[in-house]
């Protein structure tokens, strides 16, 4: 997901030529990888300038296969996360160690979905920190609600709420306004908002966020925060 956000170019391409470079032509190459000079035909430009060449070239460090041999790349369909090379039309530079990935319908759909969300006017804001947290016990044992306020890069409000009811499963939701809507829900997995939360939230609730709370309420808020993280699942960048 980091690459989808960082890459000026998102390309669906098919490899036309793949020339393996010699070790002396591959400075800094890590063990278990081989470096290729690749020429690929652009099948679809998911994101990038319309004037991008229909054929691009780039260097890619690719893992050896299960037998320890260089993979066969010619005619392979790939997804590229890249940036243009200034002054060299048709040349691109991959972003990160996984800037070239095998194409799959699932990955293609995920990338296109995130790319659409990023440019939307209501795109989910980047989480920068956790603000104050509150826990209000209910009138019945085991009843209560925790609210955790987040700070964002552009100042838009985001908060988490966790609701406990006796005899019911704990529920949580995310609100994107000052008012917490009772109909709010957790974000769908692999959306931009899910990514912002799963990858942007710290692993524990900061002490300063619960400093004004009674110890028992603070412990409950920490437990509810851990519940949110567990429900989100691991960050898959």
Residue 224 domain-assigned (yes or no):
yes
Could you tell me the two tokens for 212? 């004004």
Residue 237: the pLDDT is 62
Q: What's the mean pLDDT in 175-188?
A: 80
Band the pLDDT of 39: cuts 50, 70, 90: very high
Q: What is the domain range of residue 16? A: 2-118
> Cα–Cα distances in Å, from 113 out to 63, 98, 109, 117, 178?
28, 19, 6, 6, 27
| Domain match, 60 and 86 both | yes
| Domain match, 11 and 101 both | yes
Residue 182: the pLDDT is 65
| Domain match, 6 and 109 both | yes
Tell me: pLDDT of 50 over 90.
Answer: no
Q: What distance in Å separates the CA atoms of residue 105 and residue 64, rounded to the nearest whole number?
A: 24
The secondary structure of residue 109, as a DSSP letter, is H
Select from 76, 101, 118 the last residue of a domain: 118
CATH of the domain at 7: 2.40.50.120
Q: Please say whether the beta carbons of 228 and 200 come within 8 A.
A: no
79 or 138: which leads in pLDDT? 79
Residue 6: the pLDDT is 86
Tell me: pLDDT of 2 over 80.
Answer: no
Q: Which long-range contacts (CB under 8 A, 24 or more apart) does 218-223 make?
A: 218/135, 220/135, 220/137, 220/144, 220/146, 221/133, 221/134, 221/135, 221/146, 221/148
Least confident of 79-93, 97-111, 137-151, 166-180: 166-180
Q: What's the mean pLDDT in 45-62?
A: 94
Computed over every residue of the chain, the mean pLDDT equals: 92
Which residues contact residue 215 at a Cβ distance below 8 angstroms, ignoring those fewer than 6 apart? none
Select from 83, 118, 153 the last residue of a domain: 118
| Domain match, 11 and 106 both | yes
Tell me: pLDDT of 111 over 70.
Answer: yes
Q: What's the mean pLDDT in 171-175?
A: 95
Residue 95 domain-assigned (yes or no):
yes
| Domain match, 106 and 10 both | yes
Instruction: Quote the number of domains for the chain.
Output: 2
Q: What distance in Å separates the CA atoms of residue 101 and residue 115, rounded to the nearest whole number?
A: 16
Residue 149 domain-assigned (yes or no):
yes
Q: What's the mean pLDDT in 44-61?
A: 94
Q: What distance in Å separates the CA atoms of residue 236 and residue 107, rounded to the nearest whole number?
A: 12
| Domain match, 143 and 108 both | no
For the chain, what percent of residues have pLDDT higher than 90? 76
Residue 51: the pLDDT is 87
6 or 171: which leads in pLDDT? 171
| Domain match, 177 and 224 both | yes
Tell me: pLDDT of 42 over 90.
Answer: yes
| Domain match, 114 and 182 both | no
Q: What's the mean pLDDT in 56-67?
A: 93
pLDDT tens-digit series, residues 117-157: 988 888 899 999 999 999 999 888 889 999 999 999 999 99
Select from 53, 84, 118 the last residue of a domain: 118
Residue 237 domain-assigned (yes or no):
no
Which residues contact residue 46 at a Cβ distance below 8 angstroms, ignoring those fewer than 6 apart? 10, 11, 12, 111, 112, 115
């Amino acid at each position: 997901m980091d690459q989808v956000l960082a890459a000026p170019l998102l390309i669906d391409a098919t490899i036309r030529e793949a020339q393996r470079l010699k070790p002396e032509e591959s400075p800094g190459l890590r063990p278990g990888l081989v470096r290729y000079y690749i020429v690929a035909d652009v099948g679809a430009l998911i994101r990038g300038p319309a004037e991008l060449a229909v054929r691009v070239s780039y260097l890619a460090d690719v893992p050896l296969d299960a037998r320890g041999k260089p993979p066969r790349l010619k005619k392979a369909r790939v997804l590229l996360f890249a940036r243009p090379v200034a002054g060299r039309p048709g040349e691109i530079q991959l972003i990160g160690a996984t800037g070239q990935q095998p194409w799959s319908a699932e990955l293609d759909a995920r990338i296109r979905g995130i790319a659409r969300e990023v440019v939307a006017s209501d795109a989910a804001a980047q989480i920068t920190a956790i603000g104050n947290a509150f826990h209000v016990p209910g009138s019945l044992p085991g009843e209560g609600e925790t609210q955790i306020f987040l700070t964002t890069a552009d100042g838009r409000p985001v908060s988490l709420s966790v609701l406990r009811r006796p005899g019911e499963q704990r529920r949580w939701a995310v609100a994107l306004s000052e008012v917490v809507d009772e109909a709010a829900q957790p974000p769908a997995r692999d959306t931009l908002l899910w990514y912002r939360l799963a990858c942007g939230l710290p692993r524990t609730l900061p002490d300063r966020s619960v400093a004004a709370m009674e110890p028992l309420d603070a412990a409950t808020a920490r437990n509810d925060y851990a519940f949110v993280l567990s429900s989100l699942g691991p960050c898959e960048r």
